[in-house]
Chains A and B, each alone.
Chain A
Amino acid sequence: MTTEAARRPPGWARWIRAKLGRRAVPYLLLIPGGLWLLAFYVIPVAQLAGVSLQEPLQAGNPQAGYELTWRWANYSDAFSDFSGQFYRSFLYAGVATIAALLIAYPLAYAIAFRGGRYKNLLLVLVLMPFLTPFLLRTLAWKVILADSGWVVEGMQSIGLLPSNGRLLATGWAVIAGITYNFLAFMTLPLYVSLEKIDPSLIEAANDLYASPATAFRKVTLPLSMPGVVAGTLLTFIPAAGDYINAQLLGNPQQFMIGNVIDSRFLRVLDYPTAAALSFTLMLVILALIIPYVRAAGTEELVA
């Protein structure tokens, strides 16, 4: 095989190069995946927006079909009917996110700054519990927080709970479940961000007479902010739409907006309301993300 022949790309590649030029290559690489996302993400979501503005042709009969009547009232009706669940979703997700941040930050800090040779091992240990199925972990919490379990009895004996108090079927159980289940999403970005901090910066702060607390406040904390923001978003967003924790650890009084959407879609078959609720949830979340995107730019989104 002469060097000349060895250099020639295969026939079809030469054809592409000749017809479309070298600049087509990135677009060709993008097309399969891009089309998939277009077909199965963009179009369905756009269609959902349409569904949210529809109205049943026959009231109460979802099988009869819908027509697009631009019924913006779907949104206001949905919001007023389920405002309780909406507020509760954001409340639970918010509290859980803050709790996750408080729990994960010192953990990530400990691994990043004190991990030494065991950093990777510790990280693996942090991720290991999340190899059990989500549902099994949540059911395990049902056991741990059971009325006759040691957690509840312990809290009763200290007086944190009244003697007939329970944790299950209260907001606290749901929040505890959410916090736990999304802890990995909070810990990893925090760790990545903290690990990048150059320890000599903290040493410099100490050399300049800063106390450890001040050094943390003025050096470490600001530098870890990208991790904090990423972790917060990655935790809050799925938490707000979650309904598994509420279903398994709570009762209908703790139901979140996810539970409502699920039942509207799969049981009551009230598609316009379900769609309107889904969209409202998504828009609120997008409203929270957009300032972040503006600040960090789109390159940061995909790592």
Chain B
Amino acid sequence: MRRRVLPLYAALALAYLFLPVAVVILFSFNDNQGRFNFTWQGFTLKHWAGAFDVPAIFDSLLVSLRIAFFAALAATILGTLIALALVRYYFRGRSTTNLLLFLPMATPEVVLGSSLLAFFLTLRVATGFWTIVIAHIMFNISYVVVTVKARLTGFDRHLEEAAMDLYANEWQTFRKVTLPMIMPGVFAAFLLGFALSFDDFIITNFNSGATVTFPLYIWGAARVGVPPQVNVFGTAIFVITVSLMFVNLWAQRRRA
């Protein structure tokens, strides 16, 4: 009997975790009267059929995707370089670098967002798409470094030494041995940056100007009534990401 307690608890905890997701999915089928979508009124497929009826939703989604792509790409490049430096070399200023990387993760998003806004205002830079990208790159770098570093530290250097023994110079070794081997970690870091950027609200809210990302749209709509099409897209995002994850897991199994 006692052995059952833990798995039972885990099941309950997982149910708790999935409850809001279930609500989001369920209410994309809600036949709501009026502008609000808070009480269940009946099943309908019309929101799924009319998913693009509110163009602002899909536009904001595209904006979010573009921002996430640029931000994740830049942050991954910058962060991977830093991670390489931290793992492969001993240098003075290591502690400072670690601290500098840690601080953005420890700073509340309100401080990050508001300080950047004040900074842009001082420089008289108009806030908008690119200021959002800049802000996202900034907070993503630390997470990229953490992810790539984890992958790099377990890395077997013998392969690189073998390559050099076979007359490859350092640059060829890096290109043909090191880079392919850390690619999974780098890719994971890219995905993490993409996810963090896509979902970000607070920092984006401060620096967005007139640009509307998907979370910003939901925030704005929350007061006057969130159209159920938002639930439709939220569900779609969830289903797509989950499927991609399972495909990835399955592909890894086959490779192993």
Contacts and interface: CB of A to CB of B under 8 A. Distances in A.
B39 A240 contact: no
A49 to B, nearest CB: 9
A111 B77 CA distance: 34
Interface in A124-167: 124-126, 128-129, 131-137, 139-144, 146, 148
Contact of A126 (B17, B19, B38): B17
Nearest to B20: A140
Contacts of B138: 36-37, 40-41
A120 B117 CA distance: 40
Given A271-B118, A275-B118, A27 B91 contact: yes
Contacts of A262: 110, 205-206
Given A131-B238, A132-B21, A275 B108 contact: no
Interface stretch (A5-13, A67-75, A80-88, A221-229): A5-13
A13 B84 contact: no
B114 A265 contact: yes
A258 B102 CA distance: 21
Contact of B115 (A44, A128, A240, A241): A44
Interface string A150-192: 0000000000000000000000000000001001000000000
Given A109-B6, A136-B218, A142-B38, A40 B116 contact: yes
Contacts of B118: 44, 47-48, 51, 271, 275
A45 B116 CA distance: 8
A133 B91 contact: no
A143 B7 contact: no
Interface string A286-303: 100100000000110111
Interface in A20-47: 23, 25-27, 29-30, 32-34, 36-38, 40-45, 47
Contacts of B181: none
A3 B242 CA distance: 49
A196 interface: no
Interface string B1-22: 0000011011001101111110
A180 B20 contact: yes
A298 B142 CA distance: 14
Nearest to A241: B108
Interface residues of B, number: 89
B205 A148 contact: no
A9 B171 contact: yes
A301 B141 contact: no
A282 interface: yes
B106 A26 contact: no
A155 B227 CA distance: 30
A278 B21 contact: no
Contacts of B7: 110, 114
A48 B115 contact: yes
A136 B231 contact: yes
B168 A131 contact: no
A133 B199 contact: yes
Interface in B50-109: 77-79, 81-82, 84-86, 88-89, 91, 95, 97-104, 106-109
B54 to A, nearest CB: 15
B237 to A, nearest CB: 7
Contacts of A301: 98-99, 101-102
B162 interface: no
A274 interface: yes
A197 interface: no
A194 interface: no
B102 A302 contact: yes
Output the residue of B17, B95, B205 with the most chain A CB within 10 A.
B17
A255 interface: no
Interface of B: 6-7, 9-10, 13-14, 16-21, 23-24, 27, 38-39, 77-79, 81-82, 84-86, 88-89, 91, 95, 97-104, 106-112, 114-119, 122, 134-135, 137-138, 141-142, 145-146, 149-150, 167-172, 195, 198-199, 201-202, 205-206, 214-215, 218-219, 222, 226, 230-231, 234, 237-238, 241-242, 245, 249
15 contacts: A9-B169, A32-B78, A34-B100, A114-B10, A125-B14, A132-B237, A133-B214, A133-B218, A139-B24, A140-B21, A180-B16, A241-B109, A265-B114, A265-B206, A266-B205
Given A44-B118, A128-B21, A303-B150, 20 more contacts: A29-B89, A30-B97, A32-B78, A34-B100, A37-B104, A45-B115, A48-B115, A48-B118, A106-B9, A136-B230, A136-B234, A140-B27, A143-B39, A233-B106, A271-B118, A275-B114, A282-B111, A298-B99, A302-B102, A303-B149
